[in-house]
Structures are given as structure tokens and as C-alpha cells.
Structure 1
């Protein structure tokens, strides 16, 4: 899928209005369909089934008017509750959590249900006739409106329960961890063509990744965060054009308009210099997705950042919520342990023994630093945080046998012990840390 189309679709499905909009249209179509059904296949509801359809024109109007009014009122209430939850969570924990509430499917469904029921009642109301000359009451449509109202009671109960649960910090932390680990399972390892074999091609890739000469630069047409790399499209373009493509930014980095986004050069180093056409430059940019915000879909570090924001916010002097910080550290441990156990995909990709794509990505050491350095700094003079970190590092060592990764974890252990020696005030606290 083209990057722009994929980005548009993602923005639509994550927005607060798209699913409610679809449900409103669906409700209007349902209302019109039931009315047309009764026009062509009329039933004598009031006489044959009085318990179900025994409502006259005036009674149907009154009932549907009451349902429409109540549905619109409850829709406004649900919208107010959603905004209140968003305001409280973003202010208390992190503003980066706001999108998690906006793209919540239950919130979108409930708002769509109430507004859709309102639209349905309006559609049916306009067709009811009760004059002496002509009487028309779409019995099935009126009964459906009553059923929608009864379903609205259940939807309201579900919504209130969901909002109350969603605002709990344990739920917020778990959802971040779950979304991030799901992304890890999908991305690590992610095979794109063939990994560049060890030896000559890797040496060549390392030489070219930062080489300034011989490259043609493609600049960004807009500013934003690099959200996704459509790897298959990028490799396919490189193979078709026999070009070596080098990305200048990693997933999650901010790119300014006019900044170098990627660079290309012929795979044959002896080939004369080439010039990219505007269509070729546009095709290359379509392989990358820039947006106003970071997304966890390919950016695991953003999931880590959200948990770190919660931890550092909880450890501020004004909040001083060590329990929340420890809870988030435990969930952060799950993410890093999943990374520690996975082989990272090679940033250099080849096809048929030929190097084609050079990407930039965070190493395990960088992700560990992103996760734990801010926590250690914010948790200074707090022995409970130091003890939790040391226990987390002990768990992490059981998830990897890679020498380099174990060295990274040991370095973090050393930093925690140094911080505890210099920031903890009592010998009792130091003994608790040193006992681990």
C-alpha cells in the first residue's frame, strides 16, 4: 500500500470521528431500508401483533422524539466524559497518552451508537403520517428504534465502566506494554530480502553508511516524525532501478521539510552520475511515512518513551508516587526482556548477493539507555527505585546469552550502584541496595 494512502487510512481509523461517522451513515441507511421494506411489504402490526407493534402514529412520534432527545443528551455526556478523561490522564501522566484514548474502539463505538441512534430516529420520524386521509406508521422501523434505545442503556453502562477502567494507571501501563510487545513480535526479526552476509558486503555497508561523496539526496517534502518504512516497496524500487538506497533517519526521528530524507547511488560504483526524475523522487518518498506524531507500529522506542514519561512524572517531587513508578518499571522490564531475547534485523539488505538498502536503527544498548537512564536519574535518593532496577537487571540477564547485551546490562548495574552510593543518605538504604 502506498505510504500516503496507508497514513491517511491510519489517521482515519485512529480519529475520534471516523467510526462514529460510519455508524451514523449505517443507521440512516438502516432506517431508510426498513421504511422501504414496509412500503413494499406492509404488515398489519397493530392488529396482528399488538404487543410488538400496537403503537399509533402519535405514540410512535412521541416515543421516537423522546429516544432521539435522550440519545443526543447521552452522546454529549459520553463526549464530555471522554474529554475529561483525556484531560486528566494527559495532565497527570503524559500528553503522549492522549492518542491512546482517541483511538480507543469502545469510546468510538459508544459515541457512534448514540449519535447513530439519534440519526435513525430522525429518519423514521419524518415518514410517520397520522392524518385522516393517509396513515403510515413503519412498525418495524419504530420497533427497531425502541430496541436501539434499550441497547443504549447497556451501551451507557459499558461506556461508564470502560472510562473508569481506562483511567486507572495500571490499565494505561498495561496497554502501552501490550502494544509495544506486539510491535516487537512483529518487527524482530523482520526479514526484508536477504540480510547482508557477513564479510565483504557488511564491510562495504559500514563504509557507505556515513560516506558523504557520491550520493544523490532526496529531501523531505513535509516536516514530521518518521513513522514507518515500507520496506518491501523500498527494496523493490532499489532492485528495479539498480540503486543503493540509504536512509538518513531512523524510525521515530524528526525530519524537517527540505532536510535530506534519503540518498541514492548506482549499485555499480563505476557507473556515471545519475539524476533522479521528480517521479522517481516521489516514488522513493512514498516508501516512507512522515506524520505529526510518533507511532508504536514500527517505533518500539516510542512505547518505551511513554512508560519512561509515566515513571519520571511519578518521581517528580510534586507527585512522589513511587508505587506507580515501580509498576511502570516492571512493565518496562517485560519490553526490554522481549528485546533482549530477539535477534535484531540487519540494517543492511541485499538481493542476490548485491547490497541495495542501508537503514538506520537503534541498537539494544541505545534502547536500554532510553529505558533506564532517565529512570535512574529521576530516582536518585530513592532506594526503592534502585532496588527495583537491580531486580529488573537480574531478570534481564536470564533472557539473553549474548555477550555484548550482557555487558550493556552489567554497565547499567554499575551505574545504579554508583548512583546509590552517591545519592542515598542512610547506611540502611545503601545496605538494601548492596544486598542485591
Structure 2
């Protein structure tokens, strides 16, 4: 199943899959219309000669013109797409190129022009005769070629609008944030228990884990872990009556023949078990957001770092990145993260590597903070981010992580902000955020007592 999911993801992000389907559909459509023309044209199409009364020479000229123009426009569209990819890669980060390639609008536009070209070729091949001598003109099919070309004009106009919109920083960042939020909703559907601290970890038998013999299962290929079939891992651990320990989490890079997982067995696993465990992992050349929200955060962080670089110095884009990262972390702050220890009934089966709020918080803001020396606007925005995120949680571990981020901001401001007015303003703002975090901590303590 993982292989099918990976294959489908690769198809979705390719330029050829949807256009190929549309070309195949246009060929079928052309054949159907030609056969319809052959069977019924004499009965009713002759009633509308201004629409369907084209002769063989006129049909050939029109179809040839439409086919040639569609190929020309498709070449222009492809050039515009490559130009947008180049600009996005150089201006923002190459990691967002996959989002451009997954655009249904771009794929559909290429498909419209390619399918219209194929349609015209199929219809053109069936036109025969001249000046009433053994002539056959599929009038209905020729008419629809004209209709398809008019539709292509509308698609081209909309595509130009789409390209102009999609290369804007706001559109790119919002698109990545939307995809990341969708990943969070899939992976973390449960709301957080507001009064809880850390997940209740069942400690039955955990003290004896170090005494077991762990046998590594080597990875079959090198690459990034894109997804994991957790149910398959649980079933494999159950069938082998053992405990499975993940050695790499989703998004990590694994090297071929190094440990992918480890099994607590009294004997090495057989080849069938090794193959089944490798089949539970999808490993590819790049990371994806589907089960890896940290990669979505990574993309936005890359855009912010590029914007804060001396060569670009685009503070507004960096501020926008911080705003969308705030929305992502705010969504995470109210979700229940999965437990590291996965039980089947009373028996521990899997020791997993799972994301955490603290890790995602550091992923989102550490590098941006390090690149924001002397930038009061970014530091102020980071403080607003911690204020917004902290107001949505009372979990002590989350609040501690936010307080550590606040201390890092204070140290950076003391070291890099030279203007006394800016430094005083930042200190006052930090005091307000710290007071809010303390109030949330008090509320957490009261709820735990209750």
C-alpha cells in the first residue's frame, strides 16, 4: 500500500500524467464524433449549413491552423512555467518547486493544448475528397475542434493570471501552510487534554528493554522516509511476538544497509520479515508533507531565511513567514501528539519516533531567530507569535518550550540591538509575553488540582 501511495504522489506531481489522460480522452472523443458524423450527418447536420457546412479544403485548413497554433501556445505555456519555476527557485527556495509541479491548473492547461492538438490531428486524418468527389467531412467533429480552440483561449488567459498570482510570496507561503495544516489534521486529529502534561506512558516492562537483544533490520535503499505504515509495523511486531524500535522518523534520511528498525528477538529476523518491514516504509529522493508536517515548516523557514539574507533583505516576506508559522504552531498547540510507546492491549509492540511540539517549535523559529540579528521587526513578530501560541495552551511542557524561546529572544536582543529605545520596547513586550505564560501556567496548575 505504501508503494501505491508513493507512486500516486509521484504521478500527481508530474507534468505528464494529467495531460496524457486528457490526450487519450480527446482521441476517444474525436473517434466517437467521427463515427457519429459518419452515421447521422446526412440526417440532421445539413439543417445548419452555417455551422456544419464546411467543405474538405476549408476543414483541412482550419484543422491544420488550430493544430499548429495549439502546439505554439503549448510551447509558450511550457516556457512560462519553466520561467516561474526558475524565479521561484532563485527568489525563495528550490524546495517549493514540487508545489508548482503539483498545480492542477498548470497540468490542466498543458493538457488542454496537447489534447486539442491531438484531437485536430485525428479529425484531420479523416477528411478526404474535394469539390464533391468522394468527399467526407466530419462536420460535427470539425465544429467541436473550433469550440475546443475557443476554450483554449480562455484557459490561456486564466493561466497567465494563475502564473502571475502563484509566484507572489504570499501565495507560495499560504499554499505551503495550507498543505501543512492538512497534514496536521490527518496526523493529529485528537484535541489535547488541557489539564494533562506529558502523555501518560505505560511503563510495564520498559525497564527490561535494555536487557534484550536488538537485531537491526537494514534499509533496502537510501533516501528520505516519506511515510510509514504504522498498522503494518504493529502487525509485524505482533506476528513475531516481539518489540519493534524505529531507528529513524519520518523525514529522516536513511542510508542503504544501515538500521531502519530494530527487533527484540532471540535470533536474527528472516528475509521475509526484513522485506515486509522495508515494504512498510516509503523511501524516496525527497521529503513530502503528507506525513511530515515538519517539512512544510522547513519550506516556510527556508523562504524566511532567504528573505533575511543580506543579498535579498526582504523583511516583509520574512514577517509573512513568521505569521504563517504562527498559525501552524497554534494549530499544533491544541492537538494530542501520538505516544512514543505503542501498545496492543497490555503488550508493548512498537517504540516509535514521533514529532513533538517542542521539536516543531524549534524547527519553526530557531533559524529565523538566528538570522534576525538587529532586526527589530522580526524579533517583535516572534514575540507576538509566542504570545498567540501560548494563549492557546496550558500544557506545562509547551509553556516551558515557549519560555525557552523567549529567553533566547532576550539574549539576542541584548547582544545585537543597539538603540536603547528599541531595546526598552522589546523588553517591555517580552515582559508582557512572560506574564501571559505565567498566567497560563497558573491556570494549568489549578486545572490539575481540580
- Using structure 2 for the length normalisation, give the TM-score: 0.90
Mapped to 2, the partners of 1:301 and 1:422 lie a distance apart of 30
1:364: Cα distance to partner? 1.3
Answering whether residue 127 of structure 2 is matched by residue 128 of structure 1, we say yes
Aligned-pair Cα RMSD in Å:
1.8
Residues 157-166 or 181-190, more deviating: 181-190
Contact 2:339 2:354 in 1 (8 A): no
1:245: Cα distance to partner? 1.6
1:198: Cα distance to partner? 3.5
Contact 2:67 2:121 in 1 (8 A): yes
Mapped to 2, the partners of 1:222 and 1:198 lie a distance apart of 33
1:47-196 equivalence runs, <5 A: 47-131=46-130, 133-189=133-189
Consecutive unaligned residues in structure 1, runs of 5 or more: 267-272
Answering whether residue 406 of structure 2 is matched by residue 413 of structure 1, we say yes
Cα shift readout 1:127-180 (whole Å, capped 9, x = no counterpart): 111245421111111111111001001100110000000001000010111110
- What is the aligned partner in structure 1 of residue 17 from structure 2? 18
- What is the aligned partner in structure 1 of residue 395 from structure 2? 402
Mapped to 2, the partners of 1:280 and 1:46 lie a distance apart of 67
- What is the aligned partner in structure 2 of residue 198 from structure 1? 201
1:225: Cα distance to partner? 0.3
Cα shift readout 1:406-433 (whole Å, capped 9, x = no counterpart): 0110111111011001101111221221
Residues 166-175 or 232-241, more deviating: 232-241
Contact 2:338 2:354 in 1 (8 A): no
1:276-287 equivalence runs, <5 A: 276-287=269-280
SS in structure 2 at match of 1:243: coil
- What is the aligned partner in structure 1 of residue 219 from structure 2? 220
Cα shift readout 1:170-225 (whole Å, capped 9, x = no counterpart): 0001011111011111101479xxxx963333x61x864xx495122211111110
Mapped to 2, the partners of 1:251 and 1:140 lie a distance apart of 54
Mapped to 1, the partners of 2:277 and 2:385 lie a distance apart of 42
Cα shift readout 1:291-331 (whole Å, capped 9, x = no counterpart): 10010101111111111111111111111111110011000
1:46: Cα distance to partner? 5.8
1:228-377 equivalence runs, <5 A: 228-266=227-265, 273-377=266-370
Contact 1:220 1:256 in 2 (8 A): yes
Contact 1:228 1:251 in 2 (8 A): yes
Mapped to 2, the partners of 1:300 and 1:284 lie a distance apart of 23
Mapped to 2, the partners of 1:348 and 1:136 lie a distance apart of 73
Residues 363-372 or 169-178, more deviating: 363-372
Contact 2:71 2:114 in 1 (8 A): yes
Mapped to 2, the partners of 1:14 and 1:373 lie a distance apart of 30
Mapped to 2, the partners of 1:212 and 1:105 lie a distance apart of 53
- What is the aligned partner in structure 2 of residue 270 from structure 1? none
- What is the aligned partner in structure 2 of residue 39 from structure 1? 38
Answering whether residue 374 of structure 2 is matched by residue 381 of structure 1, we say yes
Consecutive unaligned residues in structure 2, runs of 5 or more: 192-198, 430-450
- Using structure 1 for the length normalisation, give the TM-score: 0.93
Residues 340-349 or 330-339, more deviating: 340-349
Q: Kindly report structure 1 stretches of 4+ aligned residues shifted beyond 3 Å.
A: 40-46, 196-199
Residues 340-349 or 220-229, more deviating: 340-349
Aligned residues: 421
SS in structure 1 at match of 2:243: strand
Cα shift readout 1:270-303 (whole Å, capped 9, x = no counterpart): xxx2343322211111111001001010111111
Given the superposition, is the C-alpha separation of residues 431 and 31 from structure 1 closer, same or farther in structure 2, using an over 3 Å criterion? same
SS in structure 2 at match of 1:126: helix
SS in structure 2 at match of 1:295: coil
Mapped to 2, the partners of 1:126 and 1:406 lie a distance apart of 71
SS in structure 1 at match of 2:224: strand
Contact 2:56 2:136 in 1 (8 A): yes
- What is the aligned partner in structure 2 of residue 424 from structure 1? 417
Contact 2:212 2:264 in 1 (8 A): no
Cα shift readout 1:1-39 (whole Å, capped 9, x = no counterpart): 2x2222112111211111111111111111112212223
